[in-house]
Structure 1
C-alpha cells in the first residue's frame, strides 16, 4: 500500500506540473521512483519467489514488468531526458501492483530451472524496453501533431527537442529488438516444443512482433522512415507483442481455466 501511495503521489506531482506548465523537479521524481521501487520490490518478491517455485501469474508478471520498466527509465533518466515517461508509468504501476496483491493465487506456482529463469528474464527485459519505446512513440506522436498544427506551447515545451526524442526512441527500439531476439532464440533452445498447443499463439505472435520491429528498423536505416510512419509500425509491433504474452496468458488463466 505504501508503494502504491508513492506511485500515485508521484503521478499527481507530475500531472500537476504539466497542468501548471512548469518543469518537474528531477530530484523529486527520482525520490518518488526510488522509494516506490524499493517498496514495490519488497512487496513483490515473496509473491513471486515461493518455496515450491515461481508464481508467474498474470498480474504478478505485469507487476514485475512495470517494476523493471520503472527501474530502466530511472537509470536512463540520469543521463537521458526520459523522466517524462513516469507520468504514464507511475499510475499504471500502482494499478499493476494493486491487482497482483488482490488476485494473488498460490496455485499458479511452477517449478523452473536456471535456463528457464534466464529465458523469462530476457523476455521481461525485452517487453519492458519495447513498452518504453512505445511510450516514447506516443510522446513523439503528440509532439509531431502539435508541431504540425503549430501549437509549440503548453505541455510540449516540457519535452526534449523532437530530434532528441526520436533518437532515444530508435536507441531503445534497437536494444529491445536485440533482447527480443535473444528471448526467442533461448525459447527455441530451452523449451521442448514452442509450437505446443498452449504456446503456439505466443510463439507466432512473438515472431510477428520481431518481424514488425525488424522491418521498422530496416526502414529507418535504409529508407529513412521517421515520424508517423515509424510510430505506426512501432504500435503495430507493440500490439503483437502484448497479445503474444499477456493476451495468451490472460486467455489461459482466466478464460480457459
Structure 2
C-alpha cells in the first residue's frame, strides 16, 4: 500500500478515536474505552508500516526529520494505549491521536536525508531511548494541559463539563509526575548513550540537540526535585512541564527542520 494511503487511513482512525474520547470528555456520549483503544490500534497498525518503510530507506547514523517524527508519534500512541490499561490516561488521546495523524500526513511529503553511516547497536539504543523519552514526555505535556484546565476550573468553582469527566485532581497530578519520572529515566539513558556511542555529541549537526536536550533534562530534574522537596504542584508544575517539553521538542526536531527543510541539507 502507498505511504499516503496508509497515512490517510491512520489519520481517519485516529480522528475517530479522538472524537469519541473528546465527546466523552464533554459528556455528550458514554465512555467507551475499548472503542477508543480499538480505533487507536487500527490507526497504529497503519502507522507502524509507514515508520518501518521510512526506517528501511537506508542505513543512517540518526533518523531524518520525517522518520523521527513518524517514529516518535507512533511510539507515543503505542505507549498511551498500553498505559491506558493501568492508568486513567485515555483522555490524552483527544489531543495526541490527531497530532499523530497530522504528523503522518506531513511526514509523507517531507524528505528524509540519510547520513550514510551504519546504525550500530549503541546508536540504535540512543535513537530508541530518545524517541521513547519524547513519547512519554509528550503524553506528560498533554496530561499537564488537562491538569491545568482542571486546576483552573476548580479554582473558579466550575465543576461541570470536562472537569466531571476527569479523574480526581490528586490522581491527575500523580500520573503527571509518574510520566515525567519515566520520561526522565529514558531521557537520561538517551543522553548517556549519546555521549558513549556518538563520536562527538557537540559536532556541528548535533550541538543544538545536545545542548537543548541537556537543558530539558535540567528543567525536568528541577521540577522533580522541587516537587519532592518543596511541594511544587498545580499550575507551577504545569508550566515547568510544558516548558521542558517545548525545549525537548526544539532539541529533537528544531535543528532537523532547519537543516533538512529550510537549508535542504542532510
Q: TM-score range by the shorter chain?
A: over 0.9
CA RMSD, 1 decimal: 1.6
* 3-state secondary structure, aligned to 1:193: coil
Alpha-carbon distance in structure 2 between the residues aligned to 1:219 and 1:107: 41
1-side partners of 2:164 and 2:11: how far apart? 29
Deviation at 1:20, TM superposition (A): 4.3
CA distance in 1, matches of 2:29, 2:9: 27
Partner residue, 1:198? 205
- TM-score w.r.t. the length of structure 2 is 0.91
1:5 equivalent to 2:50? Answer no
In structure 1, the partner of 2:75 is: 68
Kindly indicate whether the alpha-carbon contact (under 8 Å) linking 2:88 and 2:167 is maintained by their aligned counterparts in 1.
yes
Aligned length: 255
Residue 125 of structure 1 contacts residue 179 of structure 1 at CA under 8 Å; is this kept in 2?
yes
Instruction: Tell me the residue number matched to 2:4.
Output: none
List, as ranges, runs of 4+ consecutive aligned residues in structure 1 with deviation greater than 4 Å.
none
Q: 2-side partners of 1:75 and 1:47: how far apart?
A: 24
Unaligned runs of 5+ in 1: none
Matches within 5 A, 1:171-250: 171-250=178-257
Residue from 86, 89, 92 that aligns with 1:85:
92
- Cα 1:101–1:116 change in 2 (3 A) is same
Structure 1 residues 18, 230: CA separation in 2 closer, same or farther (over 3 Å shift)? closer
Q: CA deviation at 1:238?
A: 1.1
Q: How does 1:30-109 map to 2 (within 5 A)?
A: 30-50=37-57, 52-54=58-60, 56-103=63-110, 105=111, 107-108=113-114
Structure 2: gaps (5+ residues): 1-7
TM-score (norm 1): 0.94
